[in-house]
A and B are shown apart, each in its own frame.
Chain A
């Protein structure tokens, strides 16, 4: 109140003072309001950030951002799992410091190699783990509104499955082209040769015989392809019955009698003295698997060779072994032997017309019965195929 006294209470001054008080009050209110708004937008920002984080974290592609010094400033969980690394160990560190992590080393090498021409482009990152994984790697520069480059965004998209499908497709086309067209060519050429004027009776017979055999080969191939397509649909083993393995093998050997005799092969069936327990299998399928194995043994065993088929029982399993004295299979080819359409160079040398499906089919049949199939072989000496079935 001293103030008023000193100023002697000039009414004009009072009004002026009251006005400025009101002004101050207004400013204070504005400030409070702004403060409220600020904390509100801060909250909003946190919410927004949470949303962005959630989006980044739930991306099914790997996402990494590095700054201009190649330091990792962001890595989402998918990228962590792709690179087999935890965020805490690498965030803020330069890629070059992290090359003792094998997967980051790959990434770093690609980035270094492609720097300059692969920015803003797609590259391929191949990571070799227990299985090879292939990623499409897209790198994009991160640019602010002020046109300042603040880093690079790396997106890793898993294309392993697509690539595998493409490879299988291309392999199929190659095999299909070769295996389907070869017998068809045989038929076509034979028929054309027969249809020309100057051929002898013997030639005519030879060409007709070739056309017939090519056609037989075509029929067998189509059958195998149909079986494979059934296998791949997964509906394969269904008609179970109890069988005596000894009888089935005996019957199959009987069916191959002519081929065995033609090649003067000695075929021994070594069965246990005591009858084995009966086993529950899909008879037709197991017969097919056995036929494929025995057929191969005969095909790849030279004249006057020997085939031993043996049978034993242990650990509630029946094991069948088929041993031949053929050319054997190299270690390298043994690994691929049971895969679809595979034919070993050794086999190609002897028999060019195989479909590469027989062992693939046998393996699938045995495995559908919860059994196992494997091979032991020494090059130049022969091969022994085994399979076991639980009963």
Chain B
């Protein structure tokens, strides 16, 4: 049994998923991975994480849809979700935040360290 803080990464790009996982593990988090929206929802329900990093362009169910479903579900609606996407148009950001995302980070604008900082900051709240 461990009492590490659990982060779920829902990200379809193998490289970015792996890099993000490495960074978070180095910082002492437990990392659960999902490579598409459907798997992400299943993981979130089965294995309630402390925080979710969610991509938007995903196979099967896209990130907005995942966000909507998780925010409607009683067991998952309180989990803070940070959108981590390379879409950066205003309407994408507005849509994400209005669906209940805690934050919206554009991947290419943030380094792994900055993402970790955001994760820690969100968990403190």
Residues of chain A whose beta carbon lies under 8 Å from any beta carbon of chain B: 170, 173-174, 177-178, 181-182, 184-186, 188-190, 192-193, 196, 198, 203, 207, 210, 213-214, 345, 348-349, 352-353
Contacts and interface: CB of A to CB of B under 8 A. Distances in A.
B108 A188 contact: yes
B15 A214 contact: yes
Q: Is the interface of A mostly helix, strand, loop or mixed?
A: helix
Nearest to B86: A181
Given A182-B13, A207-B19, A349-B36, A192 B59 contact: no
Interface in B73-125: 86-89, 106-108, 111-113
Interface of B: 12-16, 18-20, 22-23, 26, 36, 57, 59-60, 86-89, 106-108, 111-113
Contacts of B113: 192, 196
B112 A192 contact: yes
5 contacts: A181-B106, A181-B108, A189-B19, A189-B20, A190-B15
A174 B87 contact: yes
A344 to B, nearest CB: 10
B108 A185 contact: yes
Contacts of A189: 16, 19-20, 23, 111-112
Nearest to A346: B59
Contact of B87 (A178, A192, A198, A345): A178
A177 B112 contact: no
B19 A186 contact: yes
B15 A349 contact: no
Given A192-B112, A348-B12, A185 B107 contact: yes
B16 A193 contact: no
Contacts of B23: 189, 193
A192 B107 CA distance: 13
What 3 A-B pairs have minimum CB-CB distances, sorted nearest first? A181-B86, A348-B59, A181-B108
Given A177-B87, A349-B59, 11 more contacts: A173-B89, A178-B57, A181-B86, A182-B13, A182-B86, A193-B23, A193-B112, A198-B26, A210-B18, A214-B15, A352-B59
Nearest to B108: A181
Given A178-B87, A189-B111, A345 B19 contact: no
A174 B19 CA distance: 23
Given A177-B87, A352-B13, A188 B59 contact: no
A210 B88 contact: no
A190 B12 CA distance: 17
Contacts of B22: 193, 203
A260 to B, nearest CB: 22
A279 B73 CA distance: 62
Nearest to B107: A185
Nearest to A173: B89
A198 B86 CA distance: 28
A88 B84 CA distance: 60
A45 B119 CA distance: 78
Contacts of B111: 188-189, 192
A387 to B, nearest CB: 28
Contacts of A203: 22
B88 A185 contact: no
